[in-house]
Amino acid sequence: MPLVSVILPIYRKEPELVRASLESVLGQTLSELEVLAVNDASPDDLGTLLAEYATRDSRLRVLTHETNRGVSAARNTGLDHATGEYVMFLDPDDLLLPWACEALTACAQKFDSEMVLGASRKFYGTPPDCAAEKPNGHEKVYFLPRYTAERAIWKRLYRRTMLDKIRFPEGLNLCEDLVFANAVAGIASRPLEVKILAVLYRQGSVWKRKIVRNLWLKDSLRALELLAEQGKSDPSRRRMMDYLIERRFFRHVSKVRKLTGKVEQLEAWKLCGAFYRRWRPNGLLRGLFEGRKYRSGFSFLFLLIRGLSEATHPLIQWETLRHELYLKQK
C-alpha cells in the first residue's frame, strides 16, 4: 500500500503546466507514492498526455469522467480511489517540492497527527530555485487549535481514514476548498503546522476570468451558507465560523464595485442582500440591502464596519490562536 496519495483534478490546463506538475509529483524523494490524475472530461489533448505518463510510471493512475462534473467531483473521485495512508491535493499548474511528501509524512508520523500544514510560496512564470529551503530536521512545529480554518488545501497532508465521511461540495467551482478545509479542521486530531516549504503556488488568472461574471459570487455565498451550517452543527466552533463568514462576506461586498456594468453590480448587490437576510435576519445592516440601487459608497461603509469588527473581535486572526512552540522538533 502506498504511503501517500496525491490527487490532481485535470481540466483545461496548458499541457506544459500539467507536465511540470506531474514531474514534480513523480519526482518526490518518497517512493511509496500513488498519483491520481482525474481527467474531468477535458476537451483538449490532456487525456493523451496523462496516458503517456501512466505508461512510463506505474505510480500514476488516470481516472476519467465521461462528462465535466467540476473540480469538487474530480477531487471526490480521487478520494474514492485513493489507497494511501495519507492524502495530498495539488492543482495541475502548481508544483510540489521534491521533499514535500516525505517531510510532511515524517512529521505526521512523529507526532501522530491527522493533518499537517506545510508552507507555500507564490510565483509568476519561472519557478524559483528553492534548493536552499530543503528541510534539515530542525523546523519549528506548531499545534493548531481544533477550530482553526484556512482555505489552502494544497499544502496539507491528511490522514485518509479521517476523510471517509468528508467530501468536497459538488456544484461549487469556487471556495469549495474553504468548505472542505473547515469540515476537516473540526475533526482532525492533533493538527500541526510545520515550517517546511512544500508547494509552489502558480499565480493564475482564475479570479480575473470570474470577476466579470457573478459565478464567483454565487459560489462564494453558497460556500458561506455551508460554513454557517457547519457552525450550527458544532456549537464549539460557531463563533469561529461566524467570524470567518463575516470577514469573507464583507470582502465580497467590497468587490462588487469592481464588476463591469451596472446590471452586474445590481445583480451582485441583490445576491449579497439575500444572503445577509438569511444569515442575519435581524442584522443591523439589513436596511442597507433593501434599497433597489447599488451605491459604491456602501462599500466604504462595509469596509469600515469590517475593520472595526476585526479590531475588537476576540478571535482576530486564526494565527493568533496557535500555541506557538507547543511542539518543537528536536
DSSP run (H or E) holding 228? helix 215-233
- pLDDT tens for 52-101 read 999 999 999 999 999 999 999 999 999 999 999 999 999 999 999 999 99
Q: pLDDT at position 260, please?
A: 64
Closest CA to 269 of 288, 247, 245, 243: 288
Q: pLDDT at position 147, please?
A: 62
- The domain at 4-204 falls in which architecture? Alpha-Beta Complex (3.90)
Taking 70 as the pLDDT cut, the residues of the chain under it are 146-151, 204-215, 257, 260, 282-330
Single-letter residue type at 221:
L
Q: pLDDT at position 323, please?
A: 37
Q: What percent of the chain has pLDDT over 90?
A: 48
- pLDDT tens for 266-284 read 788 788 888 888 887 766 5
Q: Backbone phi, then psi, for 157, in 5-degree steps?
A: -110, 130
For residues 23 and 271, give the distance between their C-alpha atoms in angstroms, rounded to a whole number: 42
- The total number of residues written for the chain in this structure: 330
Residue 267 has a CB neighbour count (10 Å cut-off) of 17
Q: pLDDT at position 286, please?
A: 55
For residues 38 and 165, give the distance between their C-alpha atoms in angstroms, rounded to a whole number: 20
- Grid coordinates given for 152: 489552502
For residues 323 and 28, give the distance between their C-alpha atoms in angstroms, rounded to a whole number: 31
For residues 182 and 115, give the distance between their C-alpha atoms in angstroms, rounded to a whole number: 12
